[in-house]
Structure 1
Amino acid sequence: MSSERIPEANESMINSDYKPWENTQQAKGKGLKIAQRFSTPGVHPFDEIEWEKRQAKITDETGKAIFEQKDVEVPENWSQLATKVVVSKYFYGDINSGQRENSVKQLVHRVSRAIADRGLKDGYFKTKEDAETYYQDLTWLCVNQY
């Protein structure tokens, strides 16, 4: 582990030489055992909720559209505001290329899978099954807005 001083809670890390991302040592121990707490075993979290297609449109004070994406798939119980924010800020890809994400499923899978896979690679989970359980629960938490 590096010998840099960890900044105090009230210190800015901007001018600090503390760089936790440069720690390449594997965590000691055997990793975390993850118990399923939110998602249902054997059921993908996407299959536990209802989905619908909506339009995400943001207008300026004159009513002119400053962002618009049609036919986006979102959980049915999400507000229109949540739809607008998530689609406009977090969907990946150029809207004009046809390669942009068009479903919250794509966004949540992309992020949850990246976190779980990186955690497995870095030794945070005891087994691949624990990483998968983490992925399932994180996915459930995201689509249910926790």
Structure 2
Amino acid sequence: MKFERRFTTPESGPYHGIEWEERRSEIRNPNGKMVFQMDAVIVPSSWSQIATDIIAQKYFRKAGVSPDKAQAWKSFVPKSNAQGAKDRLEINAEYDARQVFHRLAFTWLLWGKEAGYFDSREDE
């Protein structure tokens, strides 16, 4: 399968031009009792609070991120959040939407390679 690049260039990554911000995610049941809370969630600044809450509660891995992937993410940690991020990386939990995007994209890449979908390395 041949893929044509449409939204990125070889010089810029997929997040070029996207602003990111740190937020708090909190979900309460109808009687007001908190059922989920996560501080320092990093998402695109254009996202709604509902989108932030959904990715934090439903899609972030709370544990089980491999140590090598956790280590690789240290280079993406904003300096203003270094301590909080370090604590989360120690327990191998996701906290940044980019981690979810990379995890999913890498999985789809592996499946595509296994199925022989790509014509060349450039198409991967």
TM-score band, normalised by shorter chain = 0.7 to 0.9
Q: Runs of at least 4 residues of structure 1 off by over 6 A?
A: none
* 1:42, distance to aligned residue in structure 2 (A): 2.0
User: Does structure 1 conserve the Cα–Cα contact (< 8 Å) formed by 2:18 and 2:44?
Assistant: yes
Q: Distance in 2 between matches of 1:49 and 1:100?
A: 23
Give the fraction of aligned pairs with identical amino acids, expressed as a percent.
36
The residue type equivalent to 1:107 in the other structure is V
Offset from partner CA, 1:30-85 (integer Å, 9 cap, x none): xx111012233321112330000001110112222100111010000000000101
Task: Give the CA deviation at 1:111.
Answer: 0.2
Q: TM-score, normalising length from structure 2? A: 0.72
Matches within 5 A, 1:17-96: 32-94=1-63
Moved more, 77-86 or 115-124: 115-124
Residue 115 of structure 1: CA displacement?
0.3
| Deviation, structure 1 residue 116 | 1.6
- Classify the secondary structure of the residue corresponding to 1:55: strand
Larger Rg over CA atoms: 1
Distance in 2 between residues matched to 1:48 and 1:40, nearest whole Å: 12
Consecutive unaligned residues of structure 2, counting only runs of 5 or more, are 64-87
| Amino acid in the other structure paired with 1:35 | E
Count of aligned positions: 99
> Does the alignment pair 1:119 with 2:112?
yes
Unmatched 5+ stretches in structure 1: 1-31, 132-146
**Alignment TM-score, normalising by the size of structure 1:** 0.62
TM-superposed deviation, 1:117: 2.5
